[in-house]
Amino acid sequence: MPGSIFGKAFQVSTWGESHGRGVGAVIDGCPPRIPLDERYIQAMMDKRKPGQSAASTTRKEEDRAVIMSGVFEGMTTGTPIMIMIKNKDAKSDSYKPFANLYRPGHGDFTYQKKYGVRDWRGGGRASARETAGRVAAGAVAKAVLEMEKIKVTAYTLELGGVRAKGIRAKKNHLDSVYENPYLCPDPDAAVAMDKRVCEIRQQGDSIGGIVEIIASGVPAGLGDPVFDKLDAELARGLMSIGAVKGVEIGAGFEAAVKTGSTNNDPVLPEGFASNHAGGILAGISNGDDLVMRVAVKPIPSISIEQTTIDINNQPETIRVGGRHDISAIPRINVVCEAMVYLVLADHLLRQRSIQK
Ligand SMILES: Cc1cc2nc3c(=O)[nH]c(=O)nc-3n(C[C@H](O)[C@H](O)[C@H](O)COP(=O)(O)O)c2cc1C
């Protein structure tokens, strides 16, 4: 069964492996006459590029997104849009020592069990490189949503146990996200995060954290009441990103310890008095900001010695050196934005189709 297609009305498939010739996406269902060019897509791609914080890999990928089809004279034509990103800085030889070993925390073991064959160069399809295609597709969805003034911003809430403080209380906190390389609206926390990343790098280890994502300008009425609930679709989209291990919407797990009277959002003529619902009620957007958080696991590749087995089930030890991120945060932040843009574009078009 194929599993690389996402969305119903705004449908995206990604393709490619870490050390193959390239990665990319095909978008089918994008409406015509949306302004779009490579520069617009590249601006979003550049946010995912390595080398922008100390937590990032030293792999130098230019990540140049090329539009192969579906755009003419700066406008979408309504036909499939294919975007290609060539792989340039792949050093496959450094993965040879692991070709017959299962790296702990990676998909090596499960891919072998599922397919009986795997591209061991850089994690193949399970590599974070696949997310370049998602970000390119997310940029197309963003262009569609920009016409509706819908905006998605992801920022770092926590990294390696360092938590940002008081950010929601700050007015316009989303404006300061890009003021430091950790994409954290609390500048003091960003300094502490950098210190933590440097300590962890010295130890040859890795860290995880939490990314918070806000979608503003979302009209009431997007989503569906049952299987395709907007929160279910957002959770699926976000959870499909490598390294994401948990998704919360609104109050999330905290809702479990609240009472009805403290969790309900009172309804006033001018809107909701609070937003514990995270902008979604019964699977449908309520016009408030959508609020999501994802838990990101520590990067599996670490240079500390670990135990594993080879493909013949023989015990081995392994140290995964080489070029890798210390944390998927902050590079994962724009991938989260892309997945939320994709879900919202899909549901916007689905909603339009029932209102016609
Ligand atoms: C933006 C991003 C960057 C990542 N960088 C790395 C990396 O450099 N090294 C690594 O081992 N895993 C990296 N990962 C995580 C792996 O892709 C992921 O943990 C692995 O495929 C196993 O999948 P799972 O975490 O969903 O179980 C990254 C993930 C993302 C989204």
Name the 3-class secondary structure at 72. strand
For residue 236, the model assigns a pLDDT of 98
CATH of the domain at 115: 3.60.150.10
Other beta carbons less than 10 A from residue 172's beta carbon:
7
Residue 188's identity, in one-letter code, is D
Domain total of the chain: 1
Ligand 1 centroid, distance to 66 Cα (angstroms) = 24
Helix ranges, 94-206 (H): 108-115, 131-146, 187-203
Give pLDDT tens digits for 23-41. Answer: 999 999 999 999 999 999 9
For the chain, percent of residues with pLDDT exceeding 70 = 98
Name the 3-class secondary structure at 255. helix
Q: What is the mean pLDDT of residues 332-354?
A: 97
Q: Which domain holds residue 48?
A: 5-355
Q: What token pair was written down for 245?
A: 């291990």
Ligand 1 centroid, distance to 322 Cα (angstroms) = 14
Ligand 1 centroid, distance to 123 Cα (angstroms) = 9
The model's confidence at residue 180, banded by pLDDT at 50, 70 and 90, is: very high
Give pLDDT tens digits for 114-148. Answer: 999 888 887 888 889 999 999 999 999 999 999 99
Model confidence pTM above 0.85: yes
Q: Output the CA torsion 353→217→269→229 (10° steps).
A: 50
Nearest CA, atom 6, ligand 1: 325
Q: Is 115 exposed, middle or buried (0-12, 13-18, 19+ CB in 10 A)?
A: exposed
